[in-house]
Structure 1
């Protein structure tokens, strides 16, 4: 704004100097002959001088109250536009930075999500394998218990059967000893003892 005022002031001074030179030349040309070029053209130098001074006064007034304010407004507007451009550039840089950060954050989130999904899949597979192994072991343990129970019951049945056979043998022997038996009677006692045995022991 100050530069604009200085330039306008210089223009006014240059204009005044130029007009002064022109008037001086006109007066100098008119003086020797008593009627110079301006007189021949019907121009009064005093009138020109008065008009020039009036023009300079009007120009100074216009510059102070009109041109100066207009120049100031233009300068302010230019400064405002420059400030807005700088602000837009700063905002654009900030937007670019935030965009880059957002993209990086999204990439990190996606990578983290993929890692968690893969970890969950691996844990699920491991847990499924553990469940299958545990179920297989429980089934094998159940089969082993069933076999042991069957073997125990079998051993008890055999032991009980042996006791019954022993009792029957002793009973038969006692009868054979206490009686005089012929061969037919002897065979009858043996057959009767055998018939008293359980069906599985025959």
Structure 2
């Protein structure tokens, strides 16, 4: 049975689901009926950070041009350029058993590709969600519906998976950024 969370809530993932080692992080969204003259291309990414919230090297930033981190712990399943259809628009997989000991947090984000040049923002997006499912049986464990809290933002930190006392937890973040992917990269200590 899936548990629905609100912004700011946290929940145990591995402690309350013994044996959970691989999770699917599914992200989905719909675009408002609005014609900006260009199609929307939203992109999911993962930042593997240390205890200080910084990514140690570019390879630990997983996105459409780097589909897996060096440890094989986090993988992107591929870029969906339209977001059409029901269900997950993009997915990441996390193998908790492979996450390096130096990584304390996996921040899951969504950005709008070329948002500024296309005059697009998250105010034009609705029904955005993230869900965590057990990769083994597909059972959805956690779901966070982001709501309509955004207007001018072009990037969102959707959630974080983080270590706590040897277990993995989920935090519903829902924090928006202006400046797109570049702003997120700088936030996590990467050079742009």
- The interval holding the TM-score normalised by the smaller chain is under 0.3
Which one has the largest radius of gyration?
1
Q: TM-score, normalised by structure 2?
A: 0.15
Q: TM-score, normalised by structure 1?
A: 0.15
* Higher strand residue share: 2
Q: Which has the higher contact order (CA 8 A, sep 6+)?
A: 2
* Higher helix residue share: 1
